[in-house]
Structure 1
Amino acid sequence: MRASRLVALLLLLQNRGRLTAEQLAAELEVSVRTVYRDVQALAAAGVPLYGDAGHAGGYRLVDGYRTRLTGLTAAEAQAAFLAALPGAAAQLGLGEALAAAQLKLRAALPAELREHAGRIQERFLLDAPGWYGAADETPHLAAVAAAVWGRRAVVLRYRRWRAPEEIERRVEPYGLVLKAGRWYLVAAGPAGMRTYRVDQVVELRALDEGFAVPDGFGLGAYWADYLADFRARLHTGEALLRLTPEGARRLGVAAAADGWTEARVPIESLDHAHGEFLRLGADVEVLEPAELRARIAATVRTLAARYGG
Structure 2
Amino acid sequence: MRASRLLSLLLLLQTRGRMTAAELSEELEVSVRTVYRDVEALSSSGVPVYADRGPAGGYRLLDGYRTRLNGLTAEEASSLFLAGLPGPAAELGLGEVAAAAELKLLAALPPEPRSHASRMRDRFLLDVPGWYRDADDVPHLGTVADAVWEGREIRMVYRRWGPSEVVRQVRPYGLVLKGGSWYMVAAPDDAPARTYRVARVISVEVLAERFARPEDFDLADFWQAYSADFRDRMYTAEATVRLAPGAEGLLRVTIGTRPVDTALADAGPPGEDGWRVLRLPVESVRHACWLLLRMGASLEVLGPPELREMMASTVSELAAVYGAGAPASLTRPAPR
Is the shorter-chain TM-score for this pair beyond 0.5, marking a shared fold? yes
Match of 2:318 in 1: 303
Which of residues 262, 287, 299 in structure 2 aligns to 1:272? 287
Q: 1:293, CA displacement in angstroms?
A: 0.4
Match of 2:257 in 1: none
TM norm structure 2: 0.81
Q: Which amino acid aligns with 2:233?
A: R
Q: 1:241, CA displacement in angstroms?
A: 0.4
The CA deviation string for residues 265-303 of structure 1, in whole angstroms up to 9 with x for no partner, is 101011110110000111110000000000110111111
Q: 1:23, CA displacement in angstroms?
A: 7.4
Q: 1:17, CA displacement in angstroms?
A: 5.5
Distance verdict in 2 for CA 1:113–1:162, change over 3 Å:
same
TM norm structure 1: 0.87
Distance verdict in 2 for CA 1:20–1:269, change over 3 Å:
closer
Residue 43 of structure 2 contacts residue 49 of structure 2 at CA under 8 Å; is this kept in 1?
no
Q: Which amino acid aligns with 1:284?
A: L
Structure 1 residue 126 corresponds to structure 2 residue 118 = no
Which of residues 281, 284, 302 in structure 2 aligns to 1:287? 302
The CA deviation string for residues 149-196 of structure 1, in whole angstroms up to 9 with x for no partner, is 111111110111246x11111111111110001001111114542211
Residue 248 of structure 1 contacts residue 261 of structure 1 at CA under 8 Å; is this kept in 2?
no
Q: Which amino acid aligns with 1:285?
A: E
Q: In the TM superposition, what are the counterparts of 1:187-206 in structure 2 within 5 Å?
A: 187-190=186-189, 191-206=191-206
Q: Which amino acid aligns with 1:37?
A: A
Distance verdict in 2 for CA 1:17–1:145, change over 3 Å:
closer
SS at match of 1:98: helix
SS at match of 2:174: strand
Q: In the TM superposition, what are the counterparts of 1:1-309 in structure 2 within 5 Å?
A: 1-16=1-16, 28=28, 29=30, 30-40=34-44, 42-43=45-46, 49-50=47-48, 55=53, 60=61, 66-162=66-162, 165-190=164-189, 191-252=191-252, 253=260, 254=264, 256=270, 259-309=274-324
The CA deviation string for residues 105-150 of structure 1, in whole angstroms up to 9 with x for no partner, is 2222221111111111011100101111233111111111111111
Unaligned runs of 5+ in 1: 44-48
SS at match of 1:209: strand
RMSD over aligned Cα atoms:
2.6
Q: State the aligned residue count.
A: 301
Q: 1:26, CA displacement in angstroms?
A: 6.8
Residue 129 of structure 1 contacts residue 135 of structure 1 at CA under 8 Å; is this kept in 2?
yes
Identity of aligned residues (%): 54
The CA deviation string for residues 78-113 of structure 1, in whole angstroms up to 9 with x for no partner, is 221111111001000001111111122222222111
Match of 1:46 in 2: none
Cα distance in 1 for partners of 2:312, 2:160 equals 35
The CA deviation string for residues 237-264 of structure 1, in whole angstroms up to 9 with x for no partner, is 1111011123323224448496211111
Distance verdict in 2 for CA 1:287–1:136, change over 3 Å:
same
Cα distance in 2 for partners of 1:183, 1:303 equals 38
